[in-house]
Amino acid sequence: MKRIMAVTSLAVVCALTMVVSYTVAAGSESGVDIVPAKSAQPEQEVFPDSTPPNDVPSTPSTMAPLGDPPRVSEYANSGCQRDVAGACEEDDVIEFTVDGNTLHVLHSNATYNCCPDDIVISLSIEGDVISLKEEEILTLPCYCVCCYDVEATVVDLAPGEYTVEFSWYDYELYEERWYSEDIVIGSGERFLRDGGGGSGDDSAVSPDHGGARTPVPIEPVAEDRDHTPHVDEYSNTGCRDDDLGPCDEDDVVELTVDGTTLHVLHANTTYNCCLDDIVISLTVEGDVITLTEEEIATMPCWCICCYDVEATIVDLAPGEYTVEFCWYDYNLYEERCVYEEIVIPS
């Protein structure tokens, strides 16, 4: 019985196979092709002509890239110009030179720390004002300053008339300074104007000179000091002796009058070995002239040494005065003052 059922099943399978084969053959004869099933992702339609329907270009369009924005493409500095550390002997000079859409900047005689990581120049533009800011980057400053030249190139400026404002910190005057100048990008002409304590003239610089000009010294912004007493200059000798330590002799303060000028000499004064500066400040109240001397030490060393300090006070009004000169004595660890009567002649 089981064998008969197996034979019968086999016959059914054979019959079905014959039916399917007949169907395929009949379909082929009737012109209907049997193709395998396609994948889920449709194939890309290919157009026989170069232009598909609806006049859509077969090649995708490409947008033109936008122009590069103005930027500082490079900057550099000369390093310390002299083997001996110290501030620049001449005042700062700023020079701008235009070459097409490029502005070249040269800052000569800039005083910065001896050991900067870098001296960078940053750029910002608002309307027709180009602002350039120069600053030193310091991680581990040394106890000295030296003289540098700094250069920068600003590229891809749009044509037009601009005012360039250049700013930096002056470590000789201990104040922020700036200089401004009018320039024209794209015409070959340049204009110079007075600004921010700078000096110059209002005439156009001839384009025959290729945009170059004679560097203009920059003077600090100064108040009207006519008949106003002020400290015109001060200086110190630095450590006088090779051997560190306090002065062998006691402090000596000498006052000398020359017309409306008072010269001050403070000899044998003891201060830190690694100071930034020794400054003398002035106040005048009635007939009392007060001079205060102090050291500026950002990162002091573990030593002291002996200095001489000088200062010049100018534009004193004629009359009789009491001069009070004060300082901190690091030998005695106390503040000291000396007093002296002087006469400023009329």
| In a shared domain, residues 211 and 124 | yes
Quote the pTM value.
Answer: 0.42
| In a shared domain, residues 286 and 150 | no
Is 9 part of any domain?
Answer: no
**Residue 246: helix, strand or coil by DSSP?**
coil
Q: Distance between CA atoms of 89 and 163, rounded to whole angstroms?
A: 29
| In a shared domain, residues 88 and 201 | yes
Is 112 part of any domain?
Answer: yes
Is 159 part of any domain?
Answer: yes
Is 300 part of any domain?
Answer: yes
Is 42 part of any domain?
Answer: no
| In a shared domain, residues 86 and 162 | yes
Which of 160, 190, 217 is the last residue before a domain boundary?
A: 217
* 8 A C-beta contact, residue 167 and residue 150: no
Which of 163, 196, 217 is the last residue before a domain boundary?
A: 217
**Residue 78: helix, strand or coil by DSSP?**
coil
| In a shared domain, residues 209 and 292 | no
* Structural domains of the chain, count: 2
| In a shared domain, residues 238 and 193 | no
Q: Mind listing the pLDDT tens digit of every residue in the chain (346 residues)?
A: 434 343 344 444 344 444 334 433 444 444 434 334 444 444 444 434 444 444 444 443 333 344 689 999 999 999 988 766 778 888 999 999 999 999 999 999 999 988 899 999 999 999 999 999 999 998 888 878 889 999 999 999 999 999 999 999 988 888 899 999 999 998 544 433 333 333 333 333 333 333 333 344 444 444 444 568 999 999 999 998 777 888 989 999 999 999 999 999 999 999 988 888 999 999 999 999 999 999 998 888 878 899 999 999 999 999 999 999 999 998 888 999 999 999 999 8
Is 298 part of any domain?
Answer: yes
Is 56 part of any domain?
Answer: no
Q: What element of type H or E holds 22?
A: helix 2-29
Which of 170, 192, 217 is the last residue before a domain boundary?
A: 217
CB atoms under 10 Å from CB of 311, counted, come to 23
| In a shared domain, residues 235 and 201 | no
Q: Max Cα separation, the chain?
A: 152
| In a shared domain, residues 181 and 293 | no
| In a shared domain, residues 145 and 241 | no
Is 21 part of any domain?
Answer: no
Q: Distance between CA atoms of 123 and 100, rounded to whole angstroms?
A: 18
| In a shared domain, residues 282 and 189 | no
Range of the domain at 260: 230-344
| In a shared domain, residues 212 and 240 | no
| In a shared domain, residues 83 and 178 | yes
Q: Distance between CA atoms of 175 and 168, rounded to whole angstroms?
A: 9
